[in-house]
Chain A
Amino acid sequence: MASVRTEALTKRFGSITALRDVSLEIADGEFFAVLGPPGAGKTTLLRTIIGLETPDGGDVFVDEERITETYPGDRDIAIMFQNLALYPDKTVYGNLAFPLKQARVPRREIRRRIEETAVKLHIERLLERKPAKLSGGERQRVALGRALVREPRAMLLDEPLSALDALLRLEMRSELKRLQRDLGRTLIYVTHDQVEAMTMPDRVAVLREGEVQQVGRPEEIYHRPSSHFVASVIGSPPMNLIPAVVESANGRLRVVHDQFVVEALAPVERLSAGGSCYIGIRPEDVHLSSGEGFAGRVYATEPLGGETVVDVTIGGRIIKLITAGASGLSQDAPVRVTFDASRLHLFDADGTTVLSSAGDGSLLRVKDAGRT
């Protein structure tokens, strides 16, 4: 077990910069996720940490020991590749035994450790089988087992659940989380699935085009995203982003949209009158209302059973909201919606967050623009 630190890691492939000044600190025993869309450099980050890629700049430390030039096999870090890369010619037992044999672990100890790991992962009945005879979920467990059995200082998992069907993924999600807590092992987990990034880790780093956008606890990133990019990769359905114009009235900033006005009750930096900006609000913070609120029409409804996602057209834009149970609304029905002012976000024209109210209702106020 160990802490892992990267310092200004940069990696280029030809003219493409896959990683740009990536500095992360992962504590001993932490479950750390790296979230980003495909091509964000997530896999390159893992490959650089384990030494399969040599960085063009920056360093990797494990427990403050610099390992940037250490041979991958000597780093005592395990990786589970996205395509798993089980050894097809070896049985499950052979796959698990391989790293131990390389480390010259005595035969008896190898057997003991494999049995222990197999029980943990519920693969004890599969030990004599070849990977070709395993189901997708079983292969997943074997690959995880091969990483676990070495008892490495840290484990890197590259999209470990991406190839599983939805049900199995759900099951493995909680199982993996439990396993990590039980083992207390440092885990770096790469995913493009925002649900995995929300539900499993202690902390998340959001990566975009090789750059770290934000690092923090999942709820922190959820409530206080640093940019509308971060806001859009976490949460489902994604946050509503409404373009608006900044005005100044009575010394206060107002953000004006066709149908409503968001008034800043306190001074807001980095927004100036006349500029454009974005108002962000998550679907769960938009509510259907019977009396007050902004008028709109139902564009479509997506009943999910327990809740319904309703797309409402307001001022020519579609705003998604989530309501409990069945909405009972038909297409094109007129509705009124209200925004929870304590859950609003303001982004500047570049998408950088200017303000997230994050539960504080005293920062912003939403008013009807009075034009319909």
Chain B
Amino acid sequence: MRSRSVSLRGVGRLLAIVLVGAGFLAPLYWMVTMSFKPQAEWNPIGQTIWFPHHPTLDNFRNILGLTSQNTVFFQANSTDASGPIVHSLIAATGGTLIALFIGVLAAYGIARFRAGGRMLPFQILQLRMFPPVAIIIPLLIMMSYLHLVDTYPGLWLVYGAVTFPFVVWLMRSFFQDLPREIGEAAIVDGCTQWGALFKAILPNVKGGLAATALFVFILNWSDFLIALVLTQQNVVTAPVFLNSLQSAGAGQEYGPQAALGLILILPPAILGLVIQRYLVRGLTFGAIKR
């Protein structure tokens, strides 16, 4: 009796896992299959196509600008996303670097010297407590005064400002985990405060730094709202471009949208793989005796 009830519970648990998993994976499945579907299979009326009948790479070719425009009905908007992908890379990388630079220094100051007092970390976090949409219009006006609308520096500044609180909070705890004496040893060994940070401390929080960089990059990479408002045509990031993938003739360009979505997963995924070795490694093994 007992073993049966246990196995029943096991089955129930498995079922729950499968259901929840399916729920989460369904959109991904839709995107992957859609990206390989020819236009006729995108959204046929009264029909559900679970798997492409005639798989094709056309969507990817179109998105990467490898073919001339698709001419099913008439000249659609350009579906060549290679430019926007590059724009996105530049915008997200710049914003991430700014956030990291300011955030790491701020976190170190807060962790080691209690810079700004006890409340500063919380005050920095408060910056994140209202939605960016609440300030997007004032931001646009400020940026236009500064002639930074539709420019990379404009996006960099905003991305950096929006994400640096995360850097401060993440890096602060990594710095706090590292024994204070490691920095002090470097100072006694002849480093300046800056030297101690860059030569002795940062090399030992590589893991944390890598994780933080990845996190912030993903935030900046996937931003839609800020780029939508602050850019027009010189800088068009991929999420904004993705949204524009529709035409009067074809309606939503599901295929190219799915293909682009799939491609947009790649940079963070590649970045994650590259820094994986730092992510999984322990932080301070051997630094102190126990």
Contact = CB atoms under 8 A, between A and B. Distances in A.
A81 B286 contact: no
Contacts of A130: 286
A253 interface: no
A153 to B, nearest CB: 13
A73 interface: yes
A86 interface: yes
Contacts of A74: 190
Nearest to A158: B181
Contacts of A103: 190
A71 B193 CA distance: 10
Contact of B285 (A84, A132, A136): A132
Given A83-B181, A88-B284, A89-B206, A73 B188 contact: yes
Contact of B286 (A73, A132, A150): A132
B284 to A, nearest CB: 5
Most chain B beta-carbon neighbours within 10 Å: one of A73, A131, A133: A73
B200 A87 contact: yes
B187 A73 contact: yes
Contact of B188 (A79, A86, A132, A139): A79
A99 interface: yes
Given A85-B181, A85-B184, A87-B200, A102 B289 contact: no
Contact of B189 (A98, A139, A140, A163): A98
A85 B288 CA distance: 6
B210 to A, nearest CB: 13
A81 B187 contact: no
A127 to B, nearest CB: 15
Given A73-B187, A132-B286, A133-B286, A81 B181 contact: yes
A78 B188 contact: yes
Contacts of B86: none
Contacts of A136: 289
A139 B286 contact: yes
Contacts of A52: 184, 187-188
User: Is the interface on chain A under 10, 10 to 19, 20 to 34, or 35 or more residues?
Assistant: 20 to 34
B199 to A, nearest CB: 8
Most chain B beta-carbon neighbours within 10 Å: one of A52, A72, A85: A85
Interface string B257-290: 0000000000000000000000000101111111
Contact of B288 (A83, A98, A134, A146): A83
B185 interface: yes
Contacts of A83: 179, 181, 287-289
Interface in A47-83: 50, 52, 71-74, 77-79, 81, 83
A79 B181 CA distance: 10
Contacts, number: 86
Contact of B287 (A72, A88, A98, A99): A88
Nearest to B190: A102
Interface in B191-206: 191-192, 195, 199-200, 203-204, 206
Given A89-B203, A89-B204, A131 B184 contact: no
B185 A85 contact: yes
Contacts of A102: 189-191, 195
A72 B181 CA distance: 13
B188 A87 contact: no
Contacts of A88: 182, 204, 284-287
A50 B190 CA distance: 12
A139 B286 CA distance: 8
Given A52-B184, A102-B195, A85 B190 contact: no
Interface in B14-52: none
A150 B185 CA distance: 13
Nearest to A80: B185
Interface string A2-32: 0000000000000000000000000000000
A99 B287 CA distance: 17
Most chain A beta-carbon neighbours within 10 Å: one of B188, B199, B288: B188
Given A73-B190, A83-B179, A98-B199, 15 more contacts: A52-B184, A52-B187, A73-B189, A79-B188, A83-B289, A85-B181, A85-B184, A87-B185, A88-B182, A89-B203, A102-B189, A103-B190, A132-B285, A132-B286, A133-B286
Interface of B: 179, 181-182, 184-192, 195, 199-200, 203-204, 206, 282, 284-290
Interface of A: 50, 52, 71-74, 77-79, 81, 83-90, 98-99, 102-103, 130-134, 136, 139-140, 146, 150, 163
8 contacts: A83-B289, A84-B181, A84-B287, A85-B287, A87-B186, A89-B204, A102-B189, A103-B190
What 10 pairs across the A-B complex have the smallest Cβ distances?
Answer: A132-B286, A102-B190, A131-B286, A85-B181, A99-B189, A132-B285, A83-B288, A88-B287, A89-B203, A73-B190
